[in-house]
Amino acid sequence: MNPWIAIGALAVVSVGIPVAMMAVSSLLRPSVPEQGKSAVYESGEIPTGTTRIRFNIQYYMVALLFVVFDIETVLIFPWTVIYRPALEGGASMTEVLAPMLVFIGVLVVGLVWAWRQGAVQWVSSPRALEEKTEANQ
Amino acid sequence: MVPVEYYLVLSAAVFSIGLFGLLTRENALLFLMSVELMLNAANINFIAFSLQWGNLTGQVMSLFVMGLAAAEVAVGIGIILVLYRNFKDVDVTVPQSMRW
Amino acid sequence: MVTAPPLTPTFLLGLTALAVLTYDSVWPDSTDGSVLTGISVVGSLASLAAAGWFLTAGTGLATDGVSLYADAVVVDGMSLFFTALFAAVTILVSLASFDYFAGKENQGELFGLMLLAATGMSLMASANSLATAFVALELVSLPSYALVAFLKNDRGSSEAGLKYFLIGALSSAIFVFGVSLIYGATGSLLLPDVAAAFESGLGDRVGIAGVGVLMVAGGVAFKAAAVPFHFWAPEAYEGAPAPVSAFLSSASKAAGFALAFRVFVVGFPLGPAASAGIDWALLFQVLAVATMVLGNFAAATQDEVKRMLAYSSIGHAGYVLIGLAALSAEASTNGDVMGAAMAHLFVYGFMNTGAFLFVALAENWGVGRRFEDYNGLGAEKPFAAVAMTAFLFSLAGVPPLGGFFSKLFLFAGAVEAGLWWLVVIAVINSSLSLFYYSRVVRALWFEEGDHDLSGAPTALYAALAVALIGTVVLLPGFGPVIETAQQAATALFA
Amino acid sequence: MVGAFDYAPAIVLLPFLSFCLAVGVALSGRDLLPKGGALPGIAATAGSLLLSAWVFLTVSGGETYNETIYTWAAGAEATGSLSQPLELTFGLLLDPLSAMMLLIVSLVALLVHVFSLGYMNDEGETGLPRYYAGLGLFTASMLGFVVADNLLMAFMFFELVGLCSYLLIGFWFRQSGPPSAAKKAFLVTRFGDYFFLIGVVAVFATFGTAAFAGEESFPHLAEQAIQGEATVNTFLGLEPTAWFTVVGLLVLGGVIGKSAQFPLHTWLPDAMEGPTPVSALIHAATMVAAGVYLVARMYGFYALSPTAMAVIALVGAFTALFAASMGLVKREIKQVLAYSTISQYGYIMLGLGAGGYVAGTFHLLTHAFFKALLFLGAGSVIIAMHHNEDMWDMGGLKDRMPVTYYTFLAGSLALAGIVPFAGFWSKDEVLYEALVHGLGTTSGLGTALLVAYGMGLIAVLFTGFYTFRMVMLTFHGEPRTETAREATEPGWNVKLPLVVLGILATTVGFVNMVPVKDLTGAEIDFLHKWLYGTEGAGWAEALGTSGYNYHHLLVADYGAGMTAAALPSYLVGLLSLALALFGAGAAYVLYGGTDPDPYTDKLGVLKDVLYNNYYQDEYQVWLAEGVVLPLSKAADVFDQAVVDGVVNGVSSVSLFGGSRIKRIQDGLVTHYAAMLTLGLTVLLVGFAIYGGWF
């Protein structure tokens, strides 16, 4: 028997159960529309403004740095895989370690540069402050 | 084992979806996402062929593609921010001052 | 004794970039570009010297190239030739940037990005694996996007950056998809292994390989600004700050060709590829014709000098494509014609950079961008105008300037390869190009203008002078250039 | 021993130095040189002249020189079936032909420099350093072209000559006419030069060398290849002879452009917008000569192809006739001279194409002198007329400007071909060669030559007419304007060149009086002997550029295959002399009165209906019956509308194409992405089908 049948069956079941549950509940439940139910939920606070607010650009700067450096760690992964076998295979410590140190070193130069440029420095911009206070009034 | 053609069809489909999105969307961010789809279509190929040929080249390459995709997004969003600052919009069809 | 690593020229460029970033980290708020310019120029000069030293003395370099890092990178005559070119252009552009961006913010980024891109170009010329090629390609592209959009508050600059980026992202996606297909068809990313797979027959994977080859061609066509991947070029060159335009249109284009030469000649040997139905020489013939015609014809009707130069740059990509188009499976002329294409890129590096630098100078003076805004500049600034005239005539291929010789060798090579019709089209285009180049000359010398020009910026003038010397000294010095180029190219076919 | 040949490079370098000096002064923007740079130019060209004379004497002693001086660039390896790698070199070839040409160019250049003192300096022109820089560079490049020992070097100097012409025609760039004339001259000649460029590339690709003379020269290799003694690369699947014809015609493209032959002659009349000394130097005596000189230089190559010879002869003869007919109706003195220049170069081409190597060269020699004379004479008139060039405003200048008149008359007699002035001997020999070879050769070439002869003969009549119309209107009769009444002769610096050239124009024909030789048997055809050398010995053998070699090729059955009919040259000479006299006489009758007003009713006096209509109303009633005027007008219209139209049409089509093509760059980046994708898809589908991938 084809082993894929089991997987296929699993897929069908996994899609089918939630669909069936939603269908059944929508058939059974009473429908009482009310304003409070459709209101935006903000942990008990009174909602202010819409959901589409403009975030301060500095969130973005941090996120961007995170994405770049996070992804770079992926490139370290293959190195860790071969690190021990390479050492056991007779390669010297320098040979194995140096390239990664260079790699990290280049990244560090970049990070230091970004830091010094103020990319991670949280400046309260007048405009953002203004918007925030306006929203709270 | 799944025949390699299936992967090819999948990657081609993802590539085409990306291309379609790129050709039809006018929002710069969606444009960027579409390109990501296309890059990931290539990644599917790399992984699939890596398995098929039995070497790791493809997998390592896919890591490079991911890394560079992230870098590309970073630069791209930076440019989109500049665009927004100058044109008050992220619609790629708005800047049209240079042509012919 | 420690011998210098073969990649020294590339390393030097990269280290210079890091040095610039380090300097900028220590003094992030400086708007004085003199130190940054100094670091860039010295570093690029060192790289140029190293490349020249390896190339001429042969020290630390075997004649047929050195493979490094499990064959992912190779250093040979061709890579050194191109690295020398990139370093030279970087020097010119760095010098010009000193005046052009004087007093502006974020100069550290500018020089850093430029040097990183130069590093990537040099790596592209050395790439012996499609993985290296892709990484290097991106290392050139990403800084370039940022460089084009460098003037944050200038609408033109950001529009240019956006268009360049979007087309670039699409092209690199196409390129990397092509690479994945090549990998699927051959099982390797190393060019020699790919070639071996081509030679031992692709079986039923010809289709995959064919699509892959075409998509890879698309990726390099993007870098080289060849049709149909050229759309970014007019806008990017027009909108970008003029030194950046110079950098992109000379060095970045040459890098694309460097990659194309190696990938196609080493990776997809024409004999087996053509017999399998993947006749990429024919592909490049088509692209060469389309690129030449589009570039030159569109350039003929432009109103702005910078945009005219942008289109003419596309046209020149068409000429250089002849270097690939005229290859054939077992002709002895292959090395000659490709060497001629390389030599043309070299000469082009000087004359085109020079022409864009004159535009930079004009922008610095604050005269407009249109042809008629250049009226009468010859009378007021004779040196700069003489230099510009020499660049333009050289671009048009008027003897005895450098551009004439490189074109002559290129066309002669193509004729020897039997591509008569291609040369005829190229010559027709060339004659058209004279028309639009001479419009600028006419404006400079034969029209009367009224300008109030503020002085002669020293560094820009120096850059202009260096480019002029490059364009003019290449007359008697053309012998070594063409010999080196043809030797380097012939080595690829060995 | 240090001889003339060791100093030969200085012939080229001296004017170049004067150019550098003048440019330096022009860039400095200060008035550092006395006379605006004229004196260094005069000194340099005088030096060139002396050295040229020395070279000339040395060459007369039987020595020649053919050496490479400098190698620019050498290709890495030999390619194809060629034995040697591609090399670009500079070298000198000094043989009788180039020695003669050196003398002509440096002499005319010197005289023009002197004349410019009167025409430019004394008239208070500004920008003189620029002017003398242009003249110096022009002289240097023309001399470099003359001594070039290979086609590539010749091409480069050819281009430089064109560039100088551009700069000098556009000298008065603040007016509207000169810049556009300059651009037209540059572009039209460049158009021809692109064919030339392809020709140069083709020569390199075919022979691997572009040397003119010696064992390893391309004409020699071509000769051997046709006889099967050497292998060369041919293309397009053509036989060697056919392929050489193609190559020869490609190079001829450059010749036609530069020598202002039909259909690329349109730039020359416009080029008269430049200063008159420039017209004399460039557009009469030297630059235009560059084209035909090139044909003479590589004559051994053309002599191999009967087709090429026929094309040269026909183009030349047609141009001679066509331009002469247009010269009949021009009002401005320089326009008449411009068309006569085109026409005379047509004669030279005819002579060369008809197998008259010596005849063509001879006419080149005489024409250089008498045309320079005429232009300088016209310049003198123009100075006196305060830059009014309209002949209808002149008249009666004979008494007020005697030196100008008599020298101009000598030049006109030479131009019209009246015995014993220089032009008679050379033009007569050109026509003689065309006739005897036309009669003697049986192939299609013979017919072509006879047709060409006929056209050349008619042109003689026209030449005599327009020349004397010009003389009569300018110098005879009564002054028609106040300016003409008060005209005075300019100073010594104008008169001296005129006198020197006047003497030359009168006497230079005596170097080659073939009809007299045939009549008397006296051995006085010096030019023949000089260009022929000694058969099978000396330089003639070593260089392969002597008349003997060419004669050998012309009559060989693998070459042009010409045969000369036996015909006494004086009879042919008498015929053309009679026609010239008739034309001149007609002009004298028509315009010789004291007041030759075109609107005077002279219908009754004139018997000849042809000229009657013509004279009656030159510019309006050309619809009236008559032959010559309608034809001339038609030719003029054809010239303006069709030929110019084609030239303009090509450019406007290109511009229109450009404006269409650039529309795809519409500024919308999504469209770019779409077109990029579309392009890639088209390529993918096309190549997939072509290569059968799936």
The stretches in chain B having pLDDT less than 70 are 1
Chains sharing 3 or more CB pairs under 8 A with chain B = A, C, D
Q: Do C155 and B46 touch (CB under 8 A)?
A: no
Query: Phi and psi (nearest 5°) for B9?
Result: -65, -45
Domain assignment of residue D685, yes or no: yes
Contact C326, C337 (CB under 8 A): yes
Provide, as residue numbers in chain B, all residues whose Cβ is less than 8 Å from the Cβ of C153: 85-86
As given in the structure block, the two tokens for residue A12 are 């069908």
Three-state secondary structure call for residue D594: coil
Alpha helix positions (H), D476-568: 482-485, 492-507, 514-520, 526-532, 538-543, 547-555
Domain assignments of chain C as residue spans, ordered by start:
8-493
Q: Which residues of C touch B39 (CB under 8 A)?
A: 173, 176
Those residues whose C-beta lies under 8 Å from the C-beta of residue D162, and which sit 6 or more positions away, are: D185, D186, D189, D190, D193, D258, D287
Rounded CA separation C164/C174 (Å): 15
Q: Which long-range contacts (CB under 8 A, 24 or more apart) does D659-664 make?
A: D659/C301, D661/C293, D661/C294, D661/C297, D661/C298, D662/B100, D662/C297, D662/C298, D662/C301, D662/C302, D662/C311, D663/B100
Return the bridge partners of D390, or none: D332
Domain boundaries, chain A: 57-123
Buried b (16+ CB within 10 A) or exposed e, D171-209: bbbeeeebbbbbbbbbbbbbbbbbbbbbbbbbbbbbbbb
D95 inside domain: no
Q: Which residues of chain B lie closer than 8 angstroms to A3, CB-CB?
A: none
Q: Which residues in chain D come in under a pLDDT of 50?
A: 1, 78, 80-81, 599-628
Predicted confidence pLDDT, tens digits, chain C (494 residues): 456 788 889 999 999 999 999 998 888 877 778 888 999 999 999 999 888 888 877 654 555 677 888 888 988 888 999 999 999 999 999 999 988 888 888 888 899 999 999 999 999 999 999 999 999 999 999 999 999 999 888 888 999 999 999 999 999 999 999 999 999 999 899 999 999 999 888 888 888 899 999 999 999 999 999 988 999 999 999 999 999 999 999 999 999 999 999 999 999 988 888 888 888 999 999 999 999 999 998 888 888 999 999 999 999 999 999 989 988 877 777 888 888 899 999 999 999 999 999 999 888 888 888 888 888 888 788 888 888 988 998 898 877 778 888 888 888 888 888 888 888 899 888 888 888 888 888 888 777 777 777 777 888 888 888 888 888 877 666 777 888 888 888 888 87
Give contacts of D235 with chain C, Cβ < 8 Å.
415, 418, 420
Distance spanning both ends of chain B, measured CA to CA? 53
Domain count, chain D: 2
Query: CA angle at residue C349 from C347 to C353, to 5 degrees?
Result: 125
For residue D531, being part of any structural domain is answered with yes
Find the domain containing D670 and state its range: 619-691
Q: How far is it, in rounded angstroms, from Cα C389 to Cα C391? A: 5
Q: Which residues from D are below 8 Å from C476, CB to CB?
A: 72
**Residue D165 lies inside a defined structural domain of this protein:** no
Scanning every residue of chain C, which has its alpha carbon at the shortest distance from the alpha carbon of A114? C25
Whole-angstrom Cα distance, residue C84 to residue C347? 12
Q: What is the CA radius of gyration of chain D?
A: 26
Whether B35 sits inside 8 A of C170 (CB atoms) is yes
Q: Which of C107, C169, C110 is nearest to C143 (CA)?
A: C110
Minimal Cα distance from B60: which residue of A?
A78
Contact present, B19 and B34 (Cβ < 8 Å): yes
Can you list the pairs that D632-637 forms with residues at least 24 positions away whose Cβ atoms lie under 8 Å? D632/D325, D632/D326, D632/D328, D632/D329, D633/D329, D635/D322, D635/D325, D635/D326, D636/D326, D636/D329
Would the CB atoms of C188 and B76 count as touching at under 8 Å?
no
Q: How far is C431 from chain B (nearest CA, A)?
A: 22
A116, C18: Cβ pair inside 8 Å?
Answer: no
CATH topology of domain B4-87: Helix Hairpins (1.10.287)
Judge whether D515 lies within some domain.
yes
Q: Which residues pair with C190 in a beta bridge?
A: C129
Contact B82 C169 (CB under 8 A): no
Predicted confidence at residue D280, as pLDDT, reads: 79
- Asked if residue D629 and residue D560 are part of one domain, the reply reads no
* Both tokens assigned to C432: 């058209």
Cis link prior to D402 (omega < 30° from 0)? no
Q: Which helix (H) or strand (E) holds C134?
A: helix C130-148
Q: How far apart are CA D385 and CA D473, in angstroms?
A: 14
- Rounded to whole angstroms, what are the CA distances from D419 to D369, D407, D413, D520? 16, 16, 8, 17
State how far the Cα of D280 lies from the Cα of D112, in Å rounded to an integer.
7
Phi-psi region of B53 (alpha: psi -120 to 50; beta: other; left: phi over 0): alpha
Instruction: For residues D6 and C430, give the distance between their C-alpha atoms in angstroms, rounded to a whole number.
Output: 39
CB C209 within 8 Å of CB C186: yes
Nearest partner of C135 among C268, C8, C259, C7, judged by Cα: C259
Return the sign of the alpha-carbon dihedral for residues C433, C438, C444, C450.
negative
Residue B95 contacts A where some CB pair is shorter than 8 Å: no
The first and second tokens of residue D491, run together, are 């100073």
Instruction: Decide if B73 touches A, using CB distance below 8 A.
Output: yes
SS3 D211: strand
A near D: at least 3 beta-carbon pairs less than 8 Å apart: no
Residue C462, judged by CB atoms within 10 A of its CB (0-12, 13-18, 19+), counts as middle
Dihedral of alpha carbons D148, D150, D152, D158, sign:
positive
How far is Cα D561 from Cα C281, in angstroms, rounded to an integer?
44
pLDDT in tens, C176-200: 999 999 999 998 999 999 999 998 8
**Residue among C18, C22, C28 whose CB faces A117 most closely:** C28
Q: What's D80-97 look like in SS3?
A: CCCCCCCEEEEEEEECHH
The amino acid occupying position A35 is Q
Put simply, the answer to whether C22 touches A109 (Cβ < 8 Å) is yes
Nearest-angstrom CA–CA distance, D325 and D463: 8
Q: Which residues of chain B have a CB within 8 Å of the CB of C302? A: 100
Q: Do C25 and A110 touch (CB under 8 A)?
A: no
Cβ contact, residue pair B74, A67, below 8 Å: yes
The answer to whether the CB atoms of D662 and B100 lie below 8 A apart is yes
Q: What is the DSSP string of D1-65?
A: ---HHHHHHHHHHHHHHHHHHHHHHHHHTS--SGGGGHHHHHHHHHHHHHHHHHHHHHHHTT--E
Q: Using the 8-state DSSP alphabet, how is residue D263 labeled?
A: T
What is the distance between the alpha carbons of residues C391 and C467, in angstroms, rounded to a whole number? 9
Residues D650 and D551 in one domain: no
Residue D631 phi, psi (nearest 5): -65, -45
Cβ–Cβ contact B71 with C under 8 A = yes
Assess whether D594 and D635 both reside in one domain: no
Chain D interface mutation, best of B19, B25, B91, B100, highest count of D Cβ atoms under 10 Å: B100
Cβ distance D655 to C149 under 8 Å? no
Query: How far, in Å, CA of C389 to CA of C469, rounded?
Result: 13
Domain membership flag for residue D545: yes
Q: Name the phi and psi angles at C19, rounded to 5.
A: -60, -45
Question: B77, A60: Cβ pair inside 8 Å?
Answer: yes
Shared-domain flag, residues D359 and D477: yes
The 8-class DSSP code of residue C473 comes to H
Q: Give residues with Cβ within 8 angstroms of C406, minimum separation 6.
A: C340, C343, C344, C346, C347, C348, C478, C482
Please tell me the predicted confidence (pLDDT) of residue D623: 36
Residue of B57, B58, B97 with shortest CB distance to C156: B97
* CB nearest to B23's CB, from D663, D665, D677: D677
> For residue C9, what are its two tokens?
């020229």
Minimum Cα–Cα distance from B85: chain C residue:
C153
Interchain proximity B22–D662, CB inside 8 Å = no
Q: Which tokens is D250 given?
A: 């490609």
Alpha carbon of B94: minimum distance to chain C alpha carbons (Å):
9
Give the C-alpha separation, D259 to C279, whole Å: 45
Chains contacting D (3 or more CB pairs within 8 Å): B, C
From chain C, pick out residues whose CB is under 8 angstroms from the CB of B56: none
The residue type of C146 is A
Mark out chain C residues that contact chain B at CB-CB < 8 A.
131, 134-135, 138, 142, 145-146, 149, 152-156, 158-163, 165-166, 169-170, 172-174, 176-177, 179-181, 183-184, 187-189, 208, 234-235, 238-239, 302, 307
Closest CA to D93 of D149, D153, D10, D54: D149
Is the distance from CB of D435 to CB of D567 less than 8 angstroms?
yes
Same-domain pairing of D667 and D569:
no
Nearest to D670 among B26, B99, B100 (CB): B26
Give domain status of residue D234, yes or no.
no
Question: From the list C146, C154, C179, which residue is nearest B78 (CB)?
Answer: C146
Rounded Cα distance, A47 and A42, in Å:
6
Q: Which amino acid is at D342?
A: I
Comparing alpha-carbon positions, the chain D residue that sits nearest to C277 is D691
3-class state of residue D74 by DSSP = strand
Q: Are residues D679 and D594 in the same domain?
A: no
- Which of C179, C181, C238 lies closest to B98 in CB terms? C238
CA distances from D513 to D96, D421, D573 (A): 19, 11, 11
| Under 8 Å between Cβ of C337 and C322 | yes
| Residues 6+ away with beta carbon under 8 Å from C439 | C308, C371
Task: Give the Cα separation of C348 and C350 in Å (integer).
Answer: 5
Q: Is C21 on the interface with A (CB under 8 A)?
A: yes
Predicted local distance difference test score (pLDDT) of residue C303? 87
Residues of A with CB under 8 A from a CB of C: 106, 109-110, 112-113, 115-118
Q: Which residues of chain A have a CB within 8 Å of the CB of B67?
A: 71-72, 74-75
Token match 């020197």: residue?
Answer: D500
Q: Which of D440, C138, A102, D63 is nearest to B61 (CA)?
A: C138
Residue of C nearest to A113 (CA): C25
Mean pLDDT, each 10-residue run in order, chain A (137 residues): 82 93 90 75 70 71 80 83 87 86 89 82 62 55
